[in-house]
Amino acid sequence: MRNIKSKTYEEFVEKFKPKKTTDDCYTPSEIYEVIKDWVCKRYNIDPENVIRPFWPGGDYEKDEYPPGCVVVDNPPFSILKNICEFYLERGIPFFLFAPSLTALSGKTTWDRMNHIVCDCTIEYENGATVKTSFITSFEPETVAETSPELTKLVNDTTEKLRQENARKLSKYDYPDHIVTAAMMQKMARYGVHFRVRREECQHVRSLDAQRAMKKTIYGAGLLLSDQAAARKQNAEKQAAEKAAEDTICYELSERERELVEELNKSTLY
């Protein structure tokens, strides 16, 4: 039996693997538009000439770059140096996102670009939170500068999105026959052991009641038998009791109770 896969087979498998072009950090459109608007105003760029070559399944080296175009995009941070060299060698103007702490690390490109250092904490669509700055081919006579204005614009937009998302979040109360990883995390946190055997459960991504609202169970869950559901209910009760034990409860002092009595008297008619 052969234990080593042939090179041809490996190449065949690799060919059909999905290519990651943005390190899975896709920028929320609202944040991108704020940055794009700032860039266009700062460097007098026609927004119609802005292009985004970094997208799932794309290849920035084979993309089309029409005359007068400007790249404003969030590239894969892992190959950022290669991307900068590609654009600099071809004279393609760009304004790219970059991780703040390593923005100046381009050994062969640092002196051919300007580094716009910000204190922007961007939460990308995959949930990753990254301190983000920017690098650009514009104004290469400047190697690095801070931008309080862009920092504030991005952070204000990020906070606005966070508040809007918080208002949109709904709380779901699932029946005892559903258990999720989040529920089991709470049990584990408070030292409660809970186990589900294979024959006691069925994997589910949504309840029938959720489908009408186009909702799903976040991270999926397990549909439990009656016996497993009873054990789950008991485990949650134990976890709640232990959580209550960890809660510090303050009681009123005798002086404060006397104050309450005085308040009671003042409210009597």
Q: Give phi and psi for 114, each to the nearest 5.
A: -105, 140
**Which is nearest to 100 in space by CA: 24, 154, 53, 38?**
154
Last residue of a domain, one of 112, 142, 165: 165
**Whether 197 and 237 share a structural domain:** yes
Residue 35 CB coordination number (10 Å): 24
Residues 108 and 208 in one domain: no
Residues 186 and 227 in one domain: yes
Q: What tokens were used for 3?
A: 């234990």
- Do 115 and 139 belong to one domain? yes
Residue showing tokens 């309080």: 148
36 and 148 part of one domain? yes
Using CA atoms of 215, 221, 227, 231 in order, give the dihedral in degrees to the nearest 10: -110
Tokens of 93: 């103007």
The Cα–Cα gap between 249 and 245 comes to 9
pLDDT score of 228: 94
Q: Measuring CA to CA, which residue among 126, 152, 134 is closest to residue 43?
A: 134
Residue 256 lies in a domain: no
pLDDT in tens, the chain (269 residues): 344 444 454 555 555 554 443 355 678 899 999 999 999 999 999 999 999 999 877 899 999 999 999 999 999 999 999 999 999 999 999 999 999 999 999 899 999 999 999 999 888 777 778 899 999 999 999 999 999 999 999 999 999 988 887 776 566 789 999 999 999 999 999 999 999 999 999 999 999 998 888 888 988 999 999 999 999 999 999 999 888 887 777 888 999 888 888 888 876 65
Structural domain contains residue 98: yes
Q: Report if residue 214 sits inside a domain.
A: yes
Domain shared by 91 and 117, yes or no: yes
Shared domain for 189 and 124, answered yes or no, is no
Same domain, 160 and 188: no
* Partners of 121 in beta bridges: 131
Let me know whether 140 and 241 are in one domain: no
Which range of residues forms the domain containing residue 148?
7-165
